[in-house]
């Protein structure tokens, strides 16, 4: 995964305007942000170069630093540390194939097969064993309806942090008339909404 992907996802995880700024604009910002931080002679106000006026307004409204007057900025090293910490949490709370098999009432071999089919997300543990992040299941350890189709529709090689951020961040396209607010993909699926919209969003990651 490109560091820019992780950085843009980190802003979503931290909640900095995740429901206010288009994801494509966040990624564009992340690219500029990382470039600025890797080049020590650039000032932060140079980040705004290359953005339309409407994009600058959207980013500022979402809380993204664009000039020297905004106090809270993070260096590339800080972001890498945060990303590492986020991944450590995902890995340390993940379950192994035996536990996943118990949760889904299948054999461990079936879990490994589904990891290969990309209908379950697996990450490599320190002993080269498969671990399954908990965020792809509900709080009771059950498979979320439609989740296997969503995972399978994602581009191969997406980082678990990116997937976690996507599944748990409210999406404007997943607006619930009943609740009168946008839902995250997990909330959308768990509440029985059609999976197709989530698949379309997942393919765009």
DSSP-based three-state secondary structure for 76? helix
- CA atoms of 49 and 45, how far apart (whole Å): 8
Cα 155 to Cα 36, 139, 150: the distances in Å are 28, 26, 10
Length of the chain: 205
Structure tokens at 93: 């709370």
Q: Which CATH architecture has domain 93-203?
A: Orthogonal Bundle (1.10)
Q: What's the pLDDT score for residue 184?
A: 93
Q: What's the pLDDT score for residue 48?
A: 61
Q: Is the separation of the CB atoms in 186 and 133 below 8 Å?
A: no
Instruction: Please report, for the chain, the start and end positions of each structural domain, with discontinuous segments joined by +.
Output: 3-85, 93-203
Residue 96, C-beta contacts closer than 8 angstroms, at least 6 positions apart: 125, 129, 130, 131, 132
Q: What's the pLDDT score for residue 17?
A: 39
Which of 204, 205, 199 lies closest to 149, judged by CA?
Answer: 199
Q: What is the pLDDT tens value at each position of the chain, 205 positions in all? A: 444 444 444 444 333 433 344 555 665 666 565 555 444 444 445 556 666 777 777 766 655 655 554 444 556 567 767 778 788 888 889 999 999 999 999 999 999 999 999 999 999 887 878 999 999 999 899 999 999 999 999 998 888 988 999 999 999 999 988 888 999 999 999 999 999 999 999 999 8
The DSSP secondary-structure symbol of 67 reads S
Which of 190, 191, 168, 166 lies closest to 178, judged by CA?
Answer: 191
**Dihedral angle sign, alpha carbons of residues 15, 20, 24, 26:** negative
């Amino acid at each position: 995964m490109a560091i820019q992907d992780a950085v843009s996802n980190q802003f979503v995880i931290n909640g900095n305007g995740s429901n206010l700024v288009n994801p494509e604009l966040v990624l564009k910002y992340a690219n500029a942000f990382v470039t600025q931080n890797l080049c020590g002679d650039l000032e932060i106000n140079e980040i705004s170069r290359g953005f339309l006026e409407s994009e600058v307004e959207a980013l500022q409204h979402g809380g993204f630093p664009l000039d020297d007057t905004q106090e809270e900025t993070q260096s590339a090293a800080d972001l890498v540390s945060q990303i590492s910490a986020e991944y450590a949490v995902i890995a340390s709370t993940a379950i192994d194939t035996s536990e996943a098999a118990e949760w889904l009432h299948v054999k461990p071999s079936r879990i490994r097969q589904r990891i290969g089919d990309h209908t379950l997300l697996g990450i490599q543990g320190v002993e080269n064993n498969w671990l399954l992040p908990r965020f792809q299941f509900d709080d009771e350890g059950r498979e979320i309806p439609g989740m296997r189709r969503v995972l399978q529709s994602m581009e191969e090689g997406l980082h678990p942090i990116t997937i976690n951020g996507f599944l748990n961040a409210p999406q404007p396209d997943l607006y619930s008339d009943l609740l009168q607010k946008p839902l995250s993909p997990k909330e959308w699926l768990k509440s029985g909404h059609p999976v197709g919209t989530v698949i379309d969003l997942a393919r765009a990651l």
